[in-house]
Structure 1
Amino acid sequence: MAKTKRARALPLPPDRQALLTALRNEKMAVSAHAFVRGNTMRFYEWLDGIEGHALPDGPPVWICGDCHTGNLGPVADAQGKVEIAIRDLDQTVIGNPAHDIIRLALSLATAARGSDLPGAITVRLMEAVADGYESSFDPAASEPDPKRNKPEMVRLVMKEATRRSWRHLAAERIEDLKPAIPLGKRFWPISSAEKEEIDALFGKHSVASLATSLRGGGDESAVTVLDAAYWVKGCSSLGRLRFAVLLDIDGGVIDGDDLCLIDVKEAVKAAAPRYSSESMPRDQAERVIEGARHLTPALGHRMRAARLNDRAVFIRELLPQDMKLTIDELSPRDATEVARFLARVVGKAHARQMNEANRRAWLGVLRGRSSKTLDAPSWLWKSVLPLISSHETAYLEHCRRFALS
């Protein structure tokens, strides 16, 4: 395991949980948008508690379950092709697609509020979300030109993603090109028992083959663990097992082509409601991977399920092109363009799982329940409006408690 001068001051495994809880509270206090991103469970509790409000029952499909803006972004497939897609599937279940749309719309509305945009823009956001999502199910809708019909901020992140290499990934994730993970703010020490379990995990053919498969095959027995550390990453997932593992693919340790960075993340029961009549894998990691294969095949086929420390974990190699679409500030024009584009991304992920009859029926439900004063389904507006209020109140209360503590 890599050593640094700061290693002695870093948290040891027994001290992690309390520090991670404090760090999560700190992250969620940064902004109302960050609070929304980190509060999946309360989102569903508040949505379920809206009086006199019922959602349409959409066709049973795999949904993201936590479809906020930060969980979409550039994703690369095994051939290096990059597209904007759902990139975080921890909460995926077979459920109501309406939940993904509401979660996305709330996230965008909160970002708009954080950007000090007028309320009228939030109204237009809801219409743009509805329009982009519905267009994914309408065979008469023209397919946008992928080179011209991306919002400016999306074009910029896509341009950056396609130009990235291992050196960019190393500089961003591990801050060094040397074959070691430097301990510090983002990476904490692991115990000798954890290191032994990680070594044993990547000694398995099924897991080691994940790294070699993205390079056209190879000798899994040559894959070795160079270094591993606890990864302090995310917000809602802080506190779960999360490890960064640096692998050498062929024993040469020559350059980035021979190294890969692996993300090992604990899978826990999803907070997102599922359709009880539908069958899903019982193993939580298998559930995540199955959802990923339906929603974002390019990502799902780059993942493996395993057990680590007697917990379900899912494993994926981080590619240089995988990036987070950060939306912290929106202009009036960006807001509607980004909302329409991202809603279409989510719609396409849902639509590919439906047959023609279900797509047509779901489109009819979406368009048949529009408000007379809003060019979007009334249930979308009646969901997002009280959710904005609930999250804003809870966010301020969270900040009060955090400041006092």
Structure 2
Amino acid sequence: MSVRTYIIAEAGVNHNGSLQMAKQLIDAALEAGADAVKFQSFKTENEISRHAPKAEYQTVSTDKEESQFDMVKKLELNQEAHAELIAYCKQEGIEFLSTPFDHESAAMLTDYFRLKTVKIPSGEVVNAPLLLQIARTGVDIILSTGMCTLGEVESALAVLAFGYMGQNGLPTTDHFMKAYYSSEGQRLLQEKVTLLHCTTEYPTPFDDVNLRVIDTFAQAFGLKTGLSDHTDGIAIPIAAVARGARVIEKHFTLDRRLPGPDHQASLEPSDLKRMIEGIRQTEAAIGRSVKVPAASEQKNLGIVRKSLVASVPIRKGELFSEYNLTAKRPGTGVSPMRYWEYLGISANRDYEEDEVIDPHALGT
């Protein structure tokens, strides 16, 4: 039986600051069949300088004169909004996830709301103090790795290992790596951390996806791996599942025409549903590695395969030969794999043209 992929519908900031729209996104994720819906938790003042420029993709879909700070400030969800969305997800039966971008927001998710799992975004992989704070709470972590080298991923995992182990020593590189290389640190990482391959560009060019990194992560770290996908369409997440991804994250929106930084790079609900259906079909198709006839094709063996038949009328006692013996459908008689065994054998009875050769003819 194949492993079920955990699918995160990334609502992100596509609620545009509206609690009603956020609930509609939850409904859409549930309808599409997602396992979780994920938002973003941040205090803009704690995350972004007032002088920070926008990313190129953000300038395309928002006011070019507006700063990144002002753009993001309108998209905050306060603690009360989080509480309402968490309760709504619990009521509807879908897991609530969020990505914290600062210490205060991380504490809100782990200490106040006591979420079991926290998603850490690509931009925070080198933010060791935030990584350490979250790991020390003991929550499960899904770590995106956009813009990272393999060494940076390892360094981040070392911080997480140190935090999970509750180390009281100074948080230094040496202590991080000591925790990482310890058997206890490795055990905790394998138990609690999922790595998501990611390319931080919206949309991601297909030749920058590099799905083979999923294999690299599995081999290098021995952790559960997945993909946070930013490509157009639904093909790449489905392909990632075929390659072994255990978690898929994909942005979605109610309408790609809505104003805001992420709508244009997101799936609409109908496409999200198609993606999830494709993933579930792919899971079923992965199946076993043993090559044997599948249950569904057993009934076709006798129809599609061939048997030895008389190519011309054959009289009893006549020798089977290349002239009078051939292979044709159906496959209900002697397999053509035994063709040479029958050459030179006397026919045990009369055969009409196209009649299947009697399996008992051999040796008569």
TM-score by length of 2: 0.22
Does 1 or 2 have the higher relative contact order (CA < 8 Å, sep 6+)? 1
Report which of the two structures shows the higher radius of gyration computed on alpha carbons: 2
TM-score by length of 1: 0.20
